[in-house]
Structure 1
């Protein structure tokens, strides 16, 4: 195959779409459904994929007596007939999410051992299923979310804090459903696929503690409301832990993961005659720094044929962080994928024969309208010709502005799935 800009762009976009299709609930959910119960089926859920997962349940069980409620991000709802869908805000929770969480928790009352709770959980559920514990308010939760999002904390750390501020996360939802059977069908968007981290684990035991949540806030010097600090210090009621009898009938089934999506991409690339190297499904760290590392590997391929000769594809997944440091100019736009990609572009320094696409498989990179963006060998040259300074854009966290100006954003709209970030580096 002859690699030019048109061919490379089309190949990367095709492979990105393959990853999304590999995690589409409409194609994969039915195979993971449990047997039907003697009693009622109550379907609840939270996440960017919750509504399409509910629709997939209805299609798989057309004659079942289903009822329930799921909450998804604004713009992510699909038509359902028997299971209600509510839309709410992400990544910062709002009143619609709080009201939906309250209603979902209420549905767990009065269930029997013959009933089944089918929990549909996917990325984004932490913000969408916001039910403050104790005397906390939604305003308190919003302040904590904003502080954590800007702190550089990992998703594991953020969700540890969230679990200890919630009346529904960290296994509390499953505990409320006891003695009913609870079966969770989950799409993982977190490095390591840890069930307690996906949507902050509303239906699984929580191995972390109030003390750990306090330590995380202290480590990142996150400024939180006094009520939050007091709640964590009081530690009145711990989340359900492993071995809690109320969770004895709770089962967890993973239906899609980042690794599954990466393997689907690798298989497609191989079929195209393009060798692929999977660098891992759980790469974390500061976004721009990881971009620099990936650019170094790409340059090694070009210069030395290591870790494999060109042409080839480097694949990775995971979730990076973007730390907004004091003194950073305001007004920058962009998510972690476009920032990682801009870090890659700056470090690659226009190396010939190197293209990259990085994007969030849910179709939304941060809070912008793009899934991610693409870098070409002439990205830096085109940016400078347009009067843009790539290094300044990177330091001011304005990666979206640069890629949008070049026409290199990747816009898919909501994909209705979410197996975290996908990074594709093509070296010709």
Structure 2
């Protein structure tokens, strides 16, 4: 089954040869990185023996085996564990962003939480997780499956801070222009679960924890053997946290949020002592990492070259303003096609990372969209000078920003097609309404839940002149 649900619609206009190549590469890459497939490749159960990669556990020695999870790729992660364990699983709780018709669980209760903003449903589901932990003991085993988005979906602020305050703070932080590491520095230090606080709570009960994660942090190395326990696992609800209370306080100062964040949060962070710091190590836990951000580009490179097209990895650290990144990609495509620098055409240029966009007050927003859609819209405005050039950009988990689209696919014809419909792409970017514009010209990409979550996934194809 194609990961890209509206493939036929995307191939109904524009430069068809370029679009088909890019969509084939994207589809194959997403299929290979699906968390269900990745977990089933390393996890099995024979009698009472649970095997995950190079490690084994005798489940006859465990009173209860629990599954807990959260994240935008948690559907496929939790399904894999649930299916492997069968009746050995005592109970599971998963908090996801979307439920798909194809999701199937045996002993796992699935909740839909809030993302990108935490909500009451996520809070109530998180309270169920914490109650499960508080009833556990030394003979119990927790298997936690975590992907990006868990900070919002598994939300339980510290006493004195409401869910509404946490949601408002998250909204302000995400729109401030702060990077995700900076946003998380604040969110982790006002949470009862985030930043390793869930793992700390499990540890205090004496229970054992196995963590299986997808890392969407820009800067991590690519995976190698995913069946070997990962020793440098960090952050999320189940790993040690690299941010500090001082980091959180500095973010508020750097982005001038002192007067806009809820007083409950600024007061808490200002007065929090060392005892409120997040945990920095868990030497007794076992962690496995299924994928990291560079895996997107490495896998896509293999898929492009298997189709006979040279592929180059530009960066797995792409950050900055999304629409500007799109303009840069169009400039790069123009240079490639005109001069053969830095790569000869035809070629595929791959990048991943996490671009962001500064968003004005809500009153100035005229539509919906997200970083991927703004990137390809910025590309479209400058790509008319590069015949056949095509740019694909999605949030790899399947939903981009405030829209139901995963991202967009534009080419050298997009700007002309938009003009023919009296669509002003510049105005769409100013009003953060890229979704409406891309939908109107048939360039929005729809995937639903992809089964992975590795930030932005960008494919640029530049044909020969």
TM-score (norm 1): 0.93
2:200 counterpart (175, 191, 209): 175
Counterpart check, 1:73 vs 2:97: yes
Between 1:322-331 and 1:281-290, the stretch displaced more is: 322-331
Instruction: Determine if the alignment matches structure 1 residue 21 to structure 2 residue 31.
Output: yes
SS at match of 1:91: coil
Alignment of 1:260-409 (within 5 A): 260-325=295-360, 329-409=364-444
SS at the partner of 2:268? helix
Task: Determine the structure 2 residue equivalent to 1:259.
Answer: 294
- Tell whether the 8 Å contact from 2:235 to 2:242 is kept in structure 1 after alignment: no
Shift, 1:208, TM fit = 1.9
Give the aligned partner of residue 243 of structure 2: 208
Gaps of 5+ in 2: 1-13, 44-51, 222-229
Number of residue pairs the alignment of both structures matches: 421
3-state SS in 1 of match to 2:88: coil
Judge which range, 201-210 or 34-43, deviates more.
34-43
Q: Which deviates more from structure 2 when the two are superposed, residues 53-62 or residues 365-374?
A: 53-62
Deviations 1:338-381 (A, max 9, x none): 10111122233442121111111211111212111111111111
Deviation at 1:145, TM superposition (A): 1.0
Counterpart Cα distance in 2 of 1:198 and 1:329: 40
Q: Which residue of 1 is the match for residue 78 of structure 2?
A: 54
Q: Deviations over 1:165-190 (max 9, x none)?
A: 10111111111111222111011223
Moved over 4 A (4+): 197-200
The answer as to whether partners of 2:197 and 2:279 remain within 8 angstroms in 1 is no
Alpha carbons 1:339, 1:399 under 8 Å: kept = yes
Structure 1 residues 364 and 272: alpha-carbon distance in aligned structure 2, compared to 1, 3 A threshold: same
Cα displacement (A) at 1:91: 0.9
Residue among 103, 109, 120 paired with 1:95? 120
For 2:114 and 2:29, locate their aligned partners in 1 and report how far apart those are by CA, in whole Å.
25
CA gap 1:328/1:395 in 2 versus in 1, 3 angstroms: farther
Find the counterpart in structure 2 of residue 186 from structure 1.
213
Moved more, 345-354 or 211-220: 345-354
Residue 115 (structure 1) shift: 2.6
| 1:152 matched to 2:177 | yes
In the alignment, the residues of structure 1 paired with residue 385 and residue 449 of structure 2 have an alpha-carbon distance, to the nearest angstrom, of: 31
> Aligned-pair distance for 1:261?
2.5
Deviation at 1:45, TM superposition (A): 0.6
Q: Structure 1 residues 24, 319: closer, same or farther in 2, change over 3 A?
A: same
Instruction: Show structure 1 runs of 5+ residues with no match.
Output: none
> In structure 2, the residue corresponding to 1:70 is in which secondary structure?
strand
- How far does the alpha carbon of each residue in 1:121-171 deviate from its partner, in whole angstroms, 9 at most, with x for none? 011111101101121110110110110121111111111110011011111
Worse-matched range after superposition: 249-258 or 124-133:
249-258
Q: Distance in 2 between matches of 1:380 and 1:160?
A: 39
Change (3 A) 1:349 1:326: farther
2:234 aligned with 1:234: no
Instruction: Assess, with a 3 A threshold, how the Cα gap between structure 1 residues 200 and 248 changes in structure 2: closer, same or farther.
Output: closer
Give the structure 2 partner of residue 138 of structure 1: 163
CA distance in 1, matches of 2:385, 2:91: 55
2:153 maps to 1:128: yes
Q: Distance in 2 between matches of 1:327 and 1:175?
A: 38
> Shift of the alpha carbon at 1:68?
2.3
**Shift in alpha-carbon separation, 1:62–1:55, aligned structure 2, 3 A:** same
| Aligned position for 1:35 | 56
For 1:282, what is the secondary structure of its paired residue? strand
